[in-house]
Amino acid sequence: MKILHTADWHLGQRLCDFDRQAEHDHFLQWLLETLKVEKVDALIVAGDVFDVHNPPNYARKQYYNFLRKAIGYCNNVIITGGNHDSPRNLDAPKELLEYLRVHVVGGCPEDLKDEVIEVKDENNKVIGVVAAVPFLQERDIRKAVAGESYEERVERTQKGIFNHYHSLGEHIAAEYDTSKLPIIAVGHLFAAGSITSDSEKDIHIGNQGKVTAETFSEMFDYVALGHIHKPQKVNKLEHIRYCGSPIPLSFTEHKDDKQVLLVDFERGKLSDIRILPIPNYRKLIRVKGDIDKVTQRLMVLETSDDKPTTWLEVQVELETFEVDLEHRVRKLVADKNATVLITRTEYKNRITGLDEEMGDVSLDDLKPMEVFLKRCDSRNVGEEQQKELVNTFNELLEWMDGEKD
Ligand SMILES: [Mn+2]
């Protein structure tokens, strides 16, 4: 059996108010061709299909058009919800898609068994089993307990995720011949030690509810993870992996090699993992330094009119405030096929107050927690008190996230 593991598409995402439609179209077209050539038995999308709960119409179109074509090349498509997806919206066409062998698990189902999906060949024979676990919300994995301490909450969350995977494992072991069939788990979560970029939101009590390799039952031959946008293994284990996002979702990811994973199984066991690099569509470039260095780099920047417009993030270190900086920077690339999406300034040798520090940074560029920490700093909150406040703020963020759906 052969699967293709991808995740974190974030259809409908905008980077500094620029939409990613062309980049996603390019990726989805490439993915269709890959499915056609590689003849995979199952395509697994491990969460964050969409960027927001209510994605724009073009993003929904991209999703359904892709599914419509993908089922022509691949017998089984498995889609799970991520923390960015609305479980309700993703699950809405579930019954209909089921007929087309597109299995959707948008949110945690009432019955755990509904997360178990059989991978079938063209003769309807079961050739593999997938524990398709979506992003698990707090309410799915633990009941709120009044008066519970922060540490207790973290422990119960970790235990809740562990129990979820182990119960599924037990159920699969009771129903299927696990020595002959490959058993795969899907997850959308934060694993301990993962390297993040700027574009993932914190989950499970501000990433404290992190999981380890032990979270997944040993019976899983492969664990297909989503949520972290940089491809990586968990605990250096070959078989527990994040495939990463197909396009860079923030400028921090501009150097990442984007990829999907082709995973092969023989006689029920993992036999090969192949990394397929995704062809880059648009160049994202970060230019950083003092004004001379930035000017120099932008002047020699090579672009081509036949290629999609290059997007730039420019970070300038300054001695003092420059009135016309943004305009000057934009002028440097005026005759090139490039657009400056963000200009940031940094002042050398200066201790800045909160207002000044915030002055050049748009609130949109900061995560809520970063703003909160700046507030704590400006008010000289003590270390112990800050820890408490951060924990409470994390709970609040998570609660707000849960309320959105
Ligand atoms: Mn994501």
How remote is the CA of residue 306 from the centroid of ligand 1, in Å? 31
How many CB atoms sit inside 10 A of residue 404's CB?
A: 9
Task: Say what percent of the chain tops pLDDT 70.
Answer: 93
Distance CA(13)–CA(119), nearest Å, equals: 31
Taking alpha carbons only, the member of 82, 158, 141 closest to residue 405 is 82
For the chain, give every residue range classified as CATH 3.30.160.720. Answer: 283-350
Taking alpha carbons only, the member of 179, 163, 185 closest to residue 116 is 185
Average pLDDT over residues 338-360: 71
How remote is the CA of residue 201 from the centroid of ligand 1, in Å? 8
86 and 106 Cβ atoms separated by less than 8 Å: yes
How remote is the CA of residue 60 from the centroid of ligand 1, in Å? 17
Buried b (16+ CB within 10 A) or exposed e, 141-159: bbeeeeeeebeebbebbbe
Average per-residue pLDDT for the chain: 89
Q: How many CA atoms lie within 13 A of 79 on its CB side?
A: 29
Average pLDDT over residues 5-25: 96
Average pLDDT over residues 302-321: 89
Residue 320: its pLDDT value, please? 76
Residue 269: its pLDDT value, please? 95
Alpha-carbon distance values, 5 to 141, 224, 270 (Å)? 25, 6, 14
How remote is the CA of residue 35 from the centroid of ligand 1, in Å? 22
In 232-283, DSSP assigns E strands to: 232-234, 237-242, 259-266, 269-277
Beta bridge partners of 379: none
How remote is the CA of residue 200 from the centroid of ligand 1, in Å? 6
Distance CA(42)–CA(80), nearest Å, equals: 13
How remote is the CA of residue 16 from the centroid of ligand 1, in Å? 17
Residue 347: its pLDDT value, please? 78
Residue 364 CA to chain centroid, in angstroms?
Answer: 19
How many CB atoms sit inside 10 A of residue 113's CB?
A: 12
How remote is the CA of residue 387 from the centroid of ligand 1, in Å? 26
Taking alpha carbons only, the member of 251, 159, 134, 263 closest to residue 211 is 159
For the chain, give every residue range classified as CATH 3.60.21.10. Answer: 2-277
pLDDT digits (tens, 9 = 90+) for 117-126: 999 999 999 9
Distance CA(347)–CA(356), nearest Å, equals: 10
Helix, strand, coil shares of the chain as percentages rounded to 5? Answer: 35, 25, 40
Residue 168 has pLDDT above 90, yes or no: yes
Alpha-carbon distance values, 363 to 17, 246, 343, 366 (Å)? 14, 26, 14, 5
- Give the pLDDT band of residue 38 (cuts 50, 70, 90): very high
How remote is the CA of residue 147 from the centroid of ligand 1, in Å? 32
How remote is the CA of residue 203 from the centroid of ligand 1, in Å? 11
Residue-wise DSSP of 104-155: EE-S--SSGGGGEEEEE-TTS-EEEEEEE--PPPHHHH----TT--HHHHHH
Alpha-carbon distance values, 14 to 10, 19, 62, 219 (Å)? 9, 4, 15, 39
304 and 337 Cβ atoms separated by less than 8 Å: yes
How remote is the CA of residue 15 from the centroid of ligand 1, in Å? 14
Architecture of domain 283-350: 2-Layer Sandwich (3.30)
Class of domain 2-277: alpha beta
Residue 79: its pLDDT value, please? 98
How remote is the CA of residue 349 from the centroid of ligand 1, in Å? 37
Distance CA(261)–CA(131), nearest Å, equals: 18
Residue 359: its pLDDT value, please? 58
Residue-wise DSSP of 302-357: ---TTSPPEEEEEEEEESS--TTHHHHHHHHTTTSSEEEEEEEEEETT----HHHH
How remote is the CA of residue 79 from the centroid of ligand 1, in Å? 14
Residue 323 has pLDDT above 80, yes or no: no
Residue 48 CA to chain centroid, in angstroms?
Answer: 6
Distance CA(153)–CA(51), nearest Å, equals: 28
How remote is the CA of residue 290 from the centroid of ligand 1, in Å? 33
How remote is the CA of residue 33 from the centroid of ligand 1, in Å? 24
Residue 297 has phi, psi (to 5 degrees) of -65, -40
Alpha-carbon distance values, 77 to 37, 99, 205, 334, 336 (Å)? 16, 11, 31, 45, 42
138-152, 215-229, 290-304: which has the minimum mean pLDDT? Answer: 138-152
How remote is the CA of residue 70 from the centroid of ligand 1, in Å? 22
Residue 142 has pLDDT above 80, yes or no: no
Name the more confident of 84 and 322.
Answer: 84
pLDDT digits (tens, 9 = 90+) for 370-385: 888 888 887 777 888 8
4 and 35 Cβ atoms separated by less than 8 Å: yes
